[in-house]
Structure 1
């Protein structure tokens, strides 16, 4: 009984909150299109795969409206194959999410690829969530000499039906600004 109480208290106490680790050497803030994004969450699911999320001040991962993501996966990975794997996942999702759509842009000079896509889902209350993402895939090398694939991405969300409708109505204008900004952004150095 005492152990169960300690576990409940530990989960409720901010003193015991999980600390965010900068695995990539990209602590932030990262400035993207005039907004500063601070490191808010990180994960190292395997020794060769690292994920980090960055949010503007005042936003939280559970209910963000704008997020930057930086990921690194060690290995002989090409941007086109990384984008292809994400496109396969999106194509499978189409069976349960009629909003899914995507567009792929390749930069022949750099070998980089940008995949922008939209999807939808439901939050914990059953309300609609609409999400648009632009994923920029590139090859990268860490300071330690590991080579692999890198993702620099922007994600935008809207919650609830009125906000989702307004978000979808303004999506073309958003993409017209955000995709070129992502393509021109300086890639983080690891």
Structure 2
């Protein structure tokens, strides 16, 4: 089964983070009210990855069958994060080969303009999970340039005949000189891959909610 816009899932990690920035009141004496994040996947937290703890910072019902949740470290900022975990849960069957093919194609297309980028595909011994890890660089119009290393772990589930699909993603950014940042992240690849392989994907209890309207 081919799926539309699956490529936007990982790219959306960046866009969703930018959209999450909250408006604050102009009066300095009035503290901003805390915003409660709905845990639509009922995942016990905090999450642990590479010996660091990640707290739920965003949860969004993108479609009737797709929920996206993002986690950051306690002192990080989701609008300009250094490390982030993204969990995309699909309450339906997804063709894994199609999903992986789209991701690899996305990175390969960048390579003509992004000389530091690379992409690898690693399959688990039982063939039930696949990890796509890749590095890209960005030079935004505003702010520092940065290199970003990503791990996307794809897994199908079949519980009592009910099929679902999860993409467990980890992202790390280093800002500054792109050559130095890319080399630094490349040196961490083996350690981060080991963490991705040994980390248990958290159990999910899906609680459907109304699809959120896109911000204008």
Could you say whether these structures have the same fold, taking a TM-score greater than 0.5 normalized by the shorter chain as the test? yes
Q: Distance in 2 between matches of 1:62 and 1:168?
A: 21
Residue 141 of structure 1, CA deviation: 5.6
CA contact (8 A) 2:59 2:67 kept: yes
- Decide whether aligned partners of structure 1 residues 146 and 182 sit closer, same or farther in structure 2, where only a CA change above 3 A counts: same
Residue 58 of structure 1, CA deviation: 0.3
Q: Distance in 2 between matches of 1:22 and 1:111?
A: 27
- Decide whether aligned partners of structure 1 residues 53 and 124 sit closer, same or farther in structure 2, where only a CA change above 3 A counts: farther
Structure number with higher relative contact order (C-alpha < 8 Å, ≥ 6 residues apart): 2
TM-score under structure 2 length normalisation = 0.72
Among residues 121, 130, 134, which one is paired with 1:104 in the alignment?
121
More strand by share: 1
1:128 paired residue number: 145
Q: Distance in 1 between matches of 2:92 and 2:142?
A: 40
More helix by share: 1
After superposition, the CA RMSD in angstroms is 2.4
2:175 paired residue number: 159
Alignment of 1:48-67 (within 5 A): 48-67=65-84
TM-score under structure 1 length normalisation = 0.81
Secondary structure at the residue paired with 1:170?
A: helix
Aligned residues: 177
Among residues 23, 43, 50, which one is paired with 1:11 in the alignment?
23
Residue 103 of structure 1, CA deviation: 0.4
Q: Distance in 2 between matches of 1:117 and 1:107?
A: 17
Query: Any idea what the Cα deviations from partners look like across 1:36-58, whole Å, max 9, x if unmatched?
Result: 10011122110111111111110
- Decide whether aligned partners of structure 1 residues 142 and 96 sit closer, same or farther in structure 2, where only a CA change above 3 A counts: farther
